[in-house]
Amino acid sequence: MAGITPLFDNLWNEYILWSFLVGGFTFIWLYHHSLWYRSDEDEEWDNKDAIEVGVFPKEYDNFKLEVTWTVIPFLLIVYLALISWGPLDAVWDSTEAGGYGDECADGEYSNLTWSQNDGRYIAECYHVIYIEAYQWGWNFDCLTLSVPDLCEVGTAIVDGTPAASLSLKQGEVYLAVMGSADVTHAPWFVSWGVKEDVLYSQGAVDRNGDGLSDNLMLTQNGEYDLSAPLGELGLTSVWLPADNVEDFLLLCTEYCGDNHAYMVALINVHS
């Protein structure tokens, strides 16, 4: 379970609680009125108020009740929106907003720790990795990470079929910069509870003929790096705090063509 998952678990429990409270009150109210205000079988209904179907008697209008029915649900919606901000911020927070520090220097480690006050993981720095989706698979790149145990790209066998694999280190934070070479895809890191759409990016196509995605460039050190600042490339990014040693799948959850169901990769988090 990723560090952001407890935030979403708490949010889910809060939504379920309010769903039961609001739903229970509403259905009890409806059933009470349905059973209380009814006539017996074959009984003639004494329509003293000359009530017509679809016409609400104006003399029964209650302005205070109408305001109450409007204000209370509005306040509940505002409250739920506010408590939803924290979990969303933990996934899609900008790199300038803090929480994970600055990008790690070469050979530096994140030192991921749980902050009880913030209700989320915090770290001294983060690592940038590149993920590219295409019909129907995934390309990974560790960019400038030179320490082998921080990030490694390879292949694995998933249900008897070769698939790309990405190996990351426990206790590190990664900023996954993601793009698509064709249609809209939606990477879903199953165990971490992280999912985000990635749109077609012109830079995800090799237009200059060097055999690389144009989002990447070869550095003087013989490593790949982003060819421009993140904001200029128009790519999607999400935080990936690797807290537990585990293996799980990366799936696509946006229908992207015939082999959408088989678009998988293996994510490995090692100690």
Cβ proximity of 131 and 140 under 8 Å: yes
Percent of the chain with pLDDT over 70: 84
- Residue 255 pLDDT more than 90? yes
Together in a domain, 197 and 224? yes
Predicted pLDDT at 237: 86
Together in a domain, 13 and 136? no
Together in a domain, 105 and 237? yes
Together in a domain, 105 and 87? no
Nearest to 175 by CA among 206, 213, 144: 144
pTM beyond cutoff 0.75 = no
* Phi, psi of 127, rounded to the nearest 5 degrees: -110, 145
Determine, yes or no, domain membership for 123. Answer: yes
Partners of 158 in beta bridges: 161
Predicted pLDDT at 211: 59
Together in a domain, 83 and 119? no
Summarize the confidence of residues 235-259 as an average pLDDT.
91
Rounded to 10 degrees, what is the CA torsion of 255, 243, 126, 121?
100
pLDDT tens-place string over residues 104-144:
988 899 998 888 776 778 889 999 999 999 999 999 988 88
Together in a domain, 28 and 114? no
What's the mean per-residue pLDDT of the chain? Answer: 83
Together in a domain, 69 and 139? no
Together in a domain, 135 and 217? yes
State the residue range of the domain holding 165: 100-270
* CATH number of domain containing 266: 2.60.40.420
Q: For the chain, what is the domain count?
A: 2
Together in a domain, 139 and 244? yes
Nearest to 126 by CA among 150, 147, 110: 110
Helix or strand holding residue 248 (H, E): strand 246-252
Predicted pLDDT at 110: 92
Determine, yes or no, domain membership for 41. Answer: no
Cβ proximity of 215 and 233 under 8 Å: yes
Cβ proximity of 141 and 202 under 8 Å: no
Cβ proximity of 83 and 11 under 8 Å: yes
Q: Kindly state the tokens that stand for 249.
A: 């799948």
Cβ proximity of 158 and 266 under 8 Å: yes
Which of 92, 110, 130 is the endpoint of a domain?
92
Together in a domain, 245 and 134? yes
Determine, yes or no, domain membership for 165. Answer: yes
Q: Kindly state the tokens that stand for 72.
A: 């209370």
Summarize the confidence of residues 44-62 as an average pLDDT.
71
Together in a domain, 145 and 67? no
Together in a domain, 82 and 106? no
